[in-house]
């Protein structure tokens, strides 16, 4: 049995077994491609038979587990475990150093994810991005508006507020099923307090499509956040964009520790500020 380990600073963060590749080849390679920045020869990352690491994970494979993804730079480290039951793949997320299902730290609740079967369908972020890449902006508008209405309807608490659970309800965490339903996954963080609907709209736009802001602005009235806010029936409040920057920095500092993921996301937020804050303020 082959087991592959990708390491960062000599510590494994992604481990996969051939059992997953045999059961679901598309899922196997999608996990590899999402976490490894370049094409690599899998065999170069195969663990030596008889090594301690191989023995450890081979024993877990015997129990049905087939892949493990570790988050090492979070406030509370987690491991995402993929397992097989027959030919069906299941996934769950646990805290590495805690048996609790929830941990509150400052204004964020960190949550484990209970074991469930892999969702079937298209990742909404990839679907929407493909429409942008193909220049199909009418189709993008239709799909994006439908998603925004779904999110706000699902998490709405009061006239102008949505639950803090919506903080991670992004296209990157949503599967669009063949039956036409939106199915969210990996909603591991929850704000203690509600957030405004406008702030949620700004976060969805800038986190998943901030790097496409220029082309989206050109096709949607000069300010695509304002355009889509009004399109789904909300009065645009430009102060929500500044609130987004403040929220995002605070959120990421709470969720992550310095270095690694924190630095990466902080740079991303800084890039969004450099690219967007002037145009956001003008509009």
Residues 85 and 126 in one domain: no
Rounded to whole angstroms, the Cα distance separating 139 from 119 reads 24
Query: Which residues fall within 8 angstroms of residue 273, CB to CB, at 6 or more apart?
Result: 245
Give the structural domain span for 167.
122-237
Mean pLDDT, rounded, for 179-199: 94
Q: Which of 83, 102, 117 is the last residue of a domain?
A: 117
Residues 107 and 90 in one domain: yes
Residues 100 and 148 in one domain: no
pLDDT for residue 218 is more than 80: yes
CB 14 within 8 A of CB 5: yes
pLDDT band at 261 (very low <50, low <70, confident <90, very high): very low
What is the predicted pLDDT for the residue at 188?
94
Structure tokens at 12: 């494994």
Q: For residue 275, is it within any domain?
A: no
Instruction: Quick: pLDDT tens for 19-76.
Output: 999 999 888 888 887 766 555 678 888 999 989 999 999 999 999 999 999 987 788 9
Residues 78 and 139 in one domain: no
Residues 30 and 84 in one domain: yes
Residues 232 and 206 in one domain: yes
CA-closest candidate to residue 187, choices 114, 100, 97: 114
What is the predicted pLDDT for the residue at 266?
47
99-131: b or e for each residue (b if 16 or more CB lie within 10 Å)? eeeeeeeeebbbbbbeeeeeeebebbbebbbeb
Q: Which of 117, 147, 178 is the last residue of a domain?
A: 117
Q: For residue 264, is it within any domain?
A: no
Q: For residue 32, is it within any domain?
A: yes
Residues 111 and 16 in one domain: yes
Residues 133 and 220 in one domain: yes
Total domains, the chain: 2
Q: For residue 88, is it within any domain?
A: yes
Q: For residue 212, is it within any domain?
A: yes
Least confident of 4-8, 185-189, 196-200, 259-263: 259-263
Residues 17 and 97 in one domain: yes
pLDDT for residue 167 is more than 90: yes
Residues 17 and 86 in one domain: yes
What is the predicted pLDDT for the residue at 104?
95
Q: Which of 69, 96, 117 is the last residue of a domain?
A: 117
């Amino acid at each position: 049995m082959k087991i592959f380990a990708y390491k960062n600073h000599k510590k494994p963060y992604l481990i996969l077994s051939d059992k997953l590749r045999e059961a679901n080849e598309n899922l196997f390679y999608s996990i590899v491609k999402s976490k490894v920045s370049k094409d690599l020869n899998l065999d170069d990352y195969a663990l030596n038979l008889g090594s301690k690491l191989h023995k450890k994970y081979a024993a877990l494979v015997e129990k049905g587990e087939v892949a493990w993804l570790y988050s090492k730079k979070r406030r509370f480290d987690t491991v995402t475990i993929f397992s097989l039951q027959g030919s069906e793949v299941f996934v769950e997320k646990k805290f590495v150093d805690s048996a609790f299902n929830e941990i509150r730290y400052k204004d964020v609740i960190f949550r484990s994810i209970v074991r469930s079967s892999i969702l079937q369908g298209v990742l909404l972020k990839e679907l929407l991005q493909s429409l942008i890449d193909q220049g199909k902006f009418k189709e993008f508008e239709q799909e994006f508006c439908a998603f925004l209405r779904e999110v706000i309807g699902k998490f709405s608490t009061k006239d102008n507020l949505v639950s803090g659970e919506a903080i991670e309800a992004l296209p990157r965490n949503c599967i669009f099923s063949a039956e036409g339903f939106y199915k969210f996954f990996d909603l591991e963080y929850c704000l203690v307090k509600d957030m405004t609907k406008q702030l949620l709209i700004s976060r969805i736009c800038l986190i998943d499509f901030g790097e496409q802001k220029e082309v989206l602005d050109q096709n949607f009235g000069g300010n695509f956040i304002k355009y889509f806010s009004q399109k789904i029936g909300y009065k645009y409040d430009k102060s929500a964009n500044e609130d987004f920057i403040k929220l995002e920095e605070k959120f990421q500092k709470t969720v992550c520790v310095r270095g690694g993921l924190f630095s990466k996301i902080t740079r991303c937020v800084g890039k969004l500020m450099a690219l967007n804050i002037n145009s956001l303020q003008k509009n």
